[in-house]
Structure 1
Amino acid sequence: MSRSATLPGPSGAAVPAQSPASRRQREALLAAQLYYLQDLTMDAIARELRTSRSTVSRLLAFARETGLVQIQIADPLESSAELESAVAQRYGVRTHVVPHVSNLNEAETLDRVSMYAARTLTPLVTSNAVVGVAWGSTLTAMSRYLNRKPTHGTTVVQLNGAANTQTMGLGYASEIMRRFGAAYDAAVEEFPVPAFFDRAETKRLMWQERSVRRVLDLQADMSVAVFGVGSVHADVPSHVYTGSYLDSADLRSLGEQRVVGDVATVFYREDGSSEGIALNERSTGPDHEVVRAVEHRFCVAAGPSKARGLRGALNAGLVTELVVDEATARALLALGA
């Protein structure tokens, strides 16, 4: 980014030379011209004006405060507002672009985006709402920054199971759910089933159990769904791809079926399609039809390596509100419609 200052020229209207205010204005104007237009340091200006560096600093502050200097930040690339507009226009979603700092790594960027997302979510959570929450690296980070907002009659429901062959996953998912529940004074409904069943038939039978149906019915009543975008190629890998949830055959199958990402462990391709993806028959995440029926589908994505996965989620119509960093927004737009 480059900084520019707009300054009045020496031919501006004069005020009486004997006026103390006039002298201060002229000194401030001269200091500003030397600093902004001639790139002199404050030490060099102090020597030229035969005064102290602290006086120069006060003159420059006075010039800004009184309007002698107007600072403008010129972004050589798209501004955040322009990126928000471009993403919103292409995909029809409300978009929040978090300003990007180039020296941050993807983990640090995720932390910044998660903080922004936590604050942006707050107005969407109201009393008597059902809020669906997926587990994952993004939601773990986001849950640490949730703003406290007391509500009444609100329920937070887990969107997908977390158990696998190594662990029941309860501690990991429960901590996310606990934080969401505490932030909104909400009841918490966990989903104590595997992330993926070994057989699709087992899922079909379990989905008929009344205890499971109760959670599924809550999910069907969601007014808000909160989730990240899973991607095996992300620089900060999604937990589902690193936590013993998928074996080598599963990963090979996803590659063969051109899968680019998942929302709550339900997978899709870059064009948004999910038909014929075998692993979805065993997944305990909500079907895309269930997600698309939710009024507020709040997606958080950080890191350009997630751009293809994010594009697939957008093409699938799974998102209505998006929080994303600048670099990821640019990478998304560069992929084309």
Structure 2
Amino acid sequence: MYYLQDQTMDAIARELRTSRSTVSRLLSAARDSGLVQIQIKTPSDRAPELERAIRRRYKVEVHVVPVADTLNEVDVLDRVSMQAARTITPLVDSNAVIGVAWGSTLSAVSRHLTRKTTHGSTIVQLNGAGNTQTSGITYASEIIRRFGTAYGAKVEQFPVPAFFDNAETKRMMWEERSVRRILDLQQRATIAIFGVGSMDADVPSHVYVGGYLDSTDIDELEASGVAGDVATVFFRDDGSDKGIVLNDRSSGPKLEDLRKIRRRICVVSGARKIKGLRGALAAGLATDLILDESTARELVEQESASSDPILGFLNSLDGL
């Protein structure tokens, strides 16, 4: 009535036999929940153009969040997380199994979630969070709890280490019935929600600063040419993961198992994550991508440069 029929709030209030303030609250709730989304189109808005380019190249549904170049990385993350929360909520239905990876980005997204009533839905943690300094339960469970609270869903934590000391220990642990139950639930997921981890990000990925990796692990990842990770599973910028030894000890889902999930929502904030993002896209890990405009522009420009050597050379001159 308000957006499509151009009725005033007073007219709507009279027709619904309620107060104008109630109508105002309903309109605010519609915007906050993502039921109504408002976009401002300006002549200089490059978001639609960037979305088309990324969609065409990587075959993903994409939402580019316009942000000013003057914003710092924390503010950019907040804007992207807000858009991600509004994009995710309409996709969540009853009887869904939703896999959620913990991390700095998903922590921010979880704080912006709005309530949606579902029935028979489950939020399952995709990777363990324990390390030698902490159980990780408080950090990871808070993220998972917020998702569960927002959608009225059952919450299933994954109380295992993020990385095992030995691959054989992990193999034996995976045979335990209590662990097997969570693994089976992960494989039944209809939606997966995750960020991309990066050692170079301005807002550091929690896996790299939270005591999960020691100097030997970092050296090993660099020697393997690792570009980033999803749910503590690492890959190179071409999307390959063969021969990355640390993955044998990781509690996160194998990349081939992650690709089996029908809807895979990747949220990325910050151009310093571009290398990891390209790797994740090359690996086919995402069906939906939500990212800020600067990162989207960098992604498109890098892709153009790699496909056109002359353009790449000119872009390198432009950066000097």
Instruction: Give the TM-score, by structure 2 length.
Output: 0.81
- Residue equivalent to 1:92: 59
Aligned pair partner of 2:241 in 274, 295, 303? 274
Q: Distance in 1 between matches of 2:106 and 2:151?
A: 16
Match of 1:333 in 2: 300
Q: Match for residue 192 of structure 1?
A: 159
Counterparts of 2:64 and 2:82, CA distance in 1: 12
Q: Give the Cα–Cα distance (whole angstroms) in 1 for the partners of residues 42 and 123 of structure 2.
A: 42
Are 2:207 and 1:214 aligned? no
**1:239 CA drift (Å):** 0.2
Which residue is 1:133 aligned to? 100
Q: Distance in 1 between matches of 2:191 and 2:42?
A: 36
TM-superposed CA distance for 1:316, in Å, is 0.3
Match of 1:73, SS state, is coil
CA distance in 1, matches of 2:73, 2:55: 23
1:310 is aligned to 2:310:
no
Matched residue type, 2:238: D
* Structure whose CA Rg is larger: 1
Quote the Cα distance in structure 2 between the aligned partners of 1:332 and 1:308: 9
Per-residue CA deviation, residues 219-248 of structure 1 (Å, 9 max, x unaligned), is 000000000000001111100000000000
Does residue 73 in structure 1 map to residue 42 in structure 2? yes
* Letter of the 1:227 counterpart: F
Which 4+ stretches in 1 moved above 4 angstroms? none
Show the 5 A alignment for 1:9-28: none
- Report what 1:238 is aligned to: 205
Q: Aligned to 2:93, what secondary structure does the other structure show?
A: coil
Q: 2:119: which partner in 1?
A: 152
Aligned length: 265
**Inter-partner Cα distance in structure 2 for 1:83 and 1:214:** 41
Which whole-Å CA distance do the structure 2 matches of 1:333 and 1:261 have between them?
19
CA distance in 1, matches of 2:188, 2:137: 23
CA distance in 1: counterparts of 2:51 and 2:220, whole angstroms: 35
AA matched with 2:52: S
TM-score by length of 1: 0.77
The one-letter amino acid of 1:153's match is G
Structure 1 Cα separation of the partners of residues 49 and 241 of structure 2: 31
1:280-309 per-position Cα deviation (integer Å, ceiling 9, x unaligned): 000000001111001110000001001111
Measure the CA separation in 1 of the matches of 2:56 and 2:67: 21
Q: Does 1:296 align with 2:263?
A: yes
Q: Return the match for 2:139 from 172, 175, 178.
A: 172
Structure 1 counterpart of 2:259, one-letter code? R
CA distance in 1 between partners of 2:182 and 2:78 (Å): 30
Q: Which runs of 5+ in 2 are unaligned?
A: 1-40, 307-320
Q: Which residue of 2 aligns with 1:226?
A: 193
What is the alpha-carbon distance in structure 1 between the residues aligned to residue 232 and residue 78 of structure 2? 22
Deviation per residue, 1:142-177 (Å, 9 max, x gap):
000001101000000000000000000000001001
TM-aligned CA deviation for residue 74 of structure 1: 2.4
* Alignment match of 2:232 (pick from 265, 288, 300): 265
Please tell me the residue identity of whatever aligns with 1:130: V
Q: CA RMSD in A?
A: 1.2
Q: In the aligned structure 2, how far is the partner of 1:219 from the partner of 1:172?
A: 20
Report the Cα distance in structure 2 between the residues aligned to 1:166 and 1:175, rounded to whole angstroms.
18
* Cα distance in 2 for residues equivalent to 1:89 and 1:102: 25
- 1 CA distance for matches of 2:106 and 2:275? 19
- Equivalent AA in structure 2 for residue 73 of structure 1: T
Q: State how far apart, in whole Å, the 2-side matches of 1:303 and 1:73 are.
A: 23
Gaps of 5+ in 1: 1-71
**Which amino acid in 1 is paired with 2:183?**
L
Q: Displacement, 1:101?
A: 1.1
Residues 236-273 of structure 1, C-alpha deviations (whole Å, 9 max, x = no match): 11000000000000000000000010000000000000
Q: Distance in 1 between matches of 2:287 and 2:43?
A: 30
1:255 to 222, 226, 233: 222
State the identity as a percent: 62
